[in-house]
Amino acid sequence: MSVDATGVTRTESGLPLEAVYGPEALEGFDPGTVLGAPGSYPFTRGVYPTMYTGRPWTMRQYAGFGTAKESNERYHQLVAAGTGGLSVAFDLPTQMGYDSDDPIASGEVGKVGVAVDSVEDMRVLFGGLPLDKVSTSMTINAPAAVLLLMYQLVAAEQGVDGAALKGTIQNDVLKEYIARGTYIFPPKQSLRLISDIFAYCKREMPRWNTISISGYHMAEAGATPAQEIAFTLANAKEYVRAAQAAGLSIDDIGPRLSFFFVARTTLLEEIAKFRAARRVWARIVREEFGSTNPKAQMLRFHTQTAGVQLTAQQPEVNLVRVSLQALGAVLGGTQSLHTNSYDEAIALPTTKAARLALRTQQVIAFETDVCKTVDPFAGSYVVESLTDDLEGSITELIQAVEDRGGAVAAIEQGFQKAEIEQSAYRTTQQIDEGERTVVGVNRFAVDEEEPYEPLRVDPSIEAEQRERLAVLRSGRDASAVDSALDAVRTAATGTENLLPPMKEALAARATIGEVCNALRGVWGTYTPADAF
């Protein structure tokens, strides 16, 4: 939120925010058309009739660092503290499809998440956790199929059938080209792999959410709320088209699509953003793709509080920020929520900070009255007006992507990336010039910060992972691995579903790097046009 040169207060999306809203803000407002009942089209008021009055959202905590053993210990702590769902952070080499002993992985093993090189690591990661009862979200994109298959193999070792597994893989590669950068393959081949995951899970893991289409990372890169939703929904349209081209219908895949958004401190706009997003997506799915299944028309989403708004200065103030962000997500109707720890702008969160983050959600759920009624802001002059304004901005931006040939063509033209970078630049200018207040940074600063002892990752884990890989390779059937990887390469040159041969390779103890390298050898890697 900022005040422009003319004195007008503007929202994060650049929309004017009036000092007073009255009945005139709702002129022409037809509740039956734009609101409907909770759980009914166009789902403005929420995707379920009772929302949190029956049970609260799923409280997830995003965690993972160092080795699989260390992360497993943190998962057990979170479950004991009351976490209802696990959310796995992987280290950068894993996200990019490299083994821990690859030279390119040097210095990055276990730093921003857990290192997972093989089924052996996945078994340790989920040791002692009943995979038929927990819901697991894995933040993994380009190599999502590999990690999903590892998870299925470990579950099978526990005697858990794929049909019983519940969870989500992010699997959203298009936003990587736009805002994040952990892509591997060119867009066309990435979409083929995603379609194969859709088809495989429909048959093998029907309760699994096959994609979490993410605006969060675009928001962290500087996207406004309108851009965050518009570019996410434009990507979703591209995924639906790819699935349709592979013979899947919108009513087949729609119920398994999920979304991932940010929650900022600008409470009113965030509530309106989530309500507008549901309405826009419902109309796209029904009117453009011809869906007749209400479950396919629902925009179900996970929310994470805004990491980019956390400050290293006076980090305890982040507790207040996260509380407001979490409240906005709940009032906006999220299906699951991760609350950031107050110390994440400094380092990996400590155990105490992670527990406090979870307690924030529990206070909202069990000590406030916001869960006692559905969509508390329905009919609010300001929220309904903002919802309509955001819907208009979102629709215009989606059309701008469509005018450029759809999400992939617009990505190749650099459209979304350029729009987000311009927004990020404006925000930085506003902070530098004092038009936008950041408490503790450009206002209300202190001369000296209190000392803080961050959690540090033991650098010896890289050597430990290398040793684990050496033991793995020396103890497996090398000819079986080679044969299985050849089958992956053959499948990549044709049209058959890639996941069965990939699963066979992983079962033979092939590593994530070996499987991804087999695909790299056939498909190549993606280089963006602006890299030259």
Which range (61-75, 318-332, 435-449) has the least confidence? 61-75
**Encoding tokens for residue 178?**
């736009």
Which range (68-77, 113-122, 160-169) has the least confidence? 68-77
Which CATH entry fits the domain spanning 39-432: 3.30.365.10, 3.40.30.10, 1.10.3720.10, 3.20.20.240?
3.20.20.240
Tens-place pLDDT, residues 484-522: 999 999 999 999 999 999 999 999 999 999 999 999 999
**Encoding tokens for residue 466?**
């290398």
Distance CA 47, CA 45 (A): 7
Is 481 within 8 Å of 508 (Cβ atoms)? yes
Rounded average pLDDT over 402-425: 96
Tens-place pLDDT, residues 181-232: 999 999 999 999 999 999 999 999 999 999 999 999 999 999 999 999 999 9
Q: Angle CA(484)–CA(489)–CA(495) in degrees, nearest 5?
A: 115
Report the DSSP pairing between strands 257-263 and 211-214. Answer: parallel
Report the DSSP pairing between strands 9-10 and 2-3. Answer: antiparallel
> Which of these, 245, 149, 139, 249, lies nearest to 205 by C-alpha position?
149
Give pairs for 478-486: CB < 8 Å, separation 24+: 480/508, 481/505, 481/508, 481/509, 481/510, 481/514, 484/508, 484/510, 485/510, 485/514, 485/515, 485/518
**Encoding tokens for residue 522?**
């056939």
Q: Angle CA(359)–CA(365)–CA(369) in degrees, nearest 5?
A: 135
- Per-residue model confidence (pLDDT) at position 25: 86
Tens-place pLDDT, residues 291-303: 999 999 999 999 9
Q: Which percentage of the chain shows pLDDT scores above 70?
A: 99
Distance CA 71, CA 127 (A): 10
Spell out the residues 6+ positions from residue 512 whose beta carbon is closer than 8 angstroms to its own.
94, 97, 98, 99, 116, 117, 118, 143, 146, 147, 150
Q: 43: pLDDT confidence band, cut at 50, 70 and 90?
A: very high
Domain boundaries, the chain: 39-432, 465-531
- Per-residue model confidence (pLDDT) at position 447: 87
> Which of these, 157, 146, 128, lies nearest to 69 by C-alpha position?
128
Q: 475: pLDDT confidence band, cut at 50, 70 and 90?
A: very high
- Per-residue model confidence (pLDDT) at position 530: 66
Sign of CA dihedral 54, 56, 57, 62: negative
Distance CA 526, CA 532 (A): 13
- Per-residue model confidence (pLDDT) at position 532: 41
Amino acid code (one letter) for 189: Q
> Which of these, 315, 341, 293, lies nearest to 74 by C-alpha position?
341
CA distances from 360 to 59, 220, 256, 260 (A): 10, 22, 29, 20
Is 25 within 8 Å of 49 (Cβ atoms)? no
Residue 431 has pLDDT above 50, yes or no: yes
